[in-house]
Amino acid sequence: MQRYLLTAVLAATVATAVITPFSLPALPNLITSPKTSSTPFPLGAARHPSRICVVDPEATDAGPALISAAHDCNNGGTVVLLPDTTYTITSPTDLTFLQSIDILILGTVVFSDDVEYWQTRAFGYAYQDVHLFWKFGGRDVNIYGLGIGTLDGLGQTWWTAKRSNETLYRPVLFGTDGLAGGSVSGLNMKNSPFWFNVIMNSNDVLITDINIWIEVTNSSSPPANTDGWDTYRSINIVIQNSTINNYDDCVSFKPNSTDIIVQNLQCNGSHGISVGSLGQYQGEYDIVEDVYVYNISMSNASDGARIKIWPGVPPNTTGSSSGGGAGYVRNITYELFHNTNNDWAIELTQCYFASSQEACNAYPAVLLIEDILFKDFYGTTSKRHDPRVGTLVCSDPSVCKNIRTENIAVSPPSAATAEWICTNMNEGLLDINCVAA
């Protein structure tokens, strides 16, 4: 594939196509606000404005062309995907070698929907069968779209294929694996086959101004598992100032997510902003700690704020992937949360997928929940559980400590007195109207 190094305003020719003079836009001035990380993000290295690598717009497969451009502009340059151009990636694209580089996506990146091909070619991970079309990693990397760049996963093909094959691998639209320092901003993301984003084994990353949505063209094959973001084995991540219209968790904190801020999101049609699920696998030790969720508008969702933990399993159970995992969820705050037509404003459970509350009580969760605050919740729930608006269920008081609510003003649509299911909770720490299940 041909690659071109351009000066900031130099015209270039790629095959028979002419690139008009290109002036490199400045990287947006990105800040975390209003909540800020306890650990400041590291400063990036200086970039060289004359080092611009344009990804060949005529490449049949944009994957190798993108890798080539990234090698050429690594250590101080900028890779550009041109506006008004569609780049199709048809092969796995490993971008985990990046160092002090920016990637400006002004065109549309489309991923081939050859379902059978990707079954054996996508980058695979053991955790929850995550697979990736492409993956980003390295150090000091900014990926930005200025509100113009678009990623399109052609999800309907995958959602339809899943109906006839439940074991089908469906790749995540965007993923990091080992990204240390940098940002992802100003991108449009649509029609992911599976989760939209997974942030894995990464640290010190700001994600901001992302627009996520889904277009269903076959109502008999709706989307499934289209989480907005999932964090996994990552620390010091900020996700903010974004709009998410999807069919699963708006954001989910998977095992070993620590020092996470999520703020200023508008979520619609989701399963809430969720801790977990955790404790699914025996022998695993899951941690989610120091998470701050602030200023969220959640509409038409199954849940607003959500913590989901698997219960324990009977003694001598082996090979189980249905609970019994150890670890803890600690120091989680949900503050300023507006609910519109959500089934539950808050759902906390240590009985996730338990056959009954009695079975959950018999084998309490091994994983501990402690130091949780739900503060300044308001709005109205859906009719589904009216007059009940939330549920807080622990498997045993010994593994559920210091869970508090403050200034909760959520109402059912009937305007009846709001009721909350509270099981094995210290009700003295709750300013809500607790009732039995």
Residue 311 Cα distances to 274, 327, 350, angstroms: 17, 12, 6
271 is catalytic: yes
Q: Both tokens of residue 302?
A: 């199954």
Q: How many CA atoms lie within 13 A of 314 on its CB side?
A: 2
Query: Per the residue annotation, which of 48, 71, 131, 271 is the catalytic one?
Result: 271
Give the separation between CA 228 and CA 391, rounded to whole angstroms. 24
Active-site annotation, residues:
271
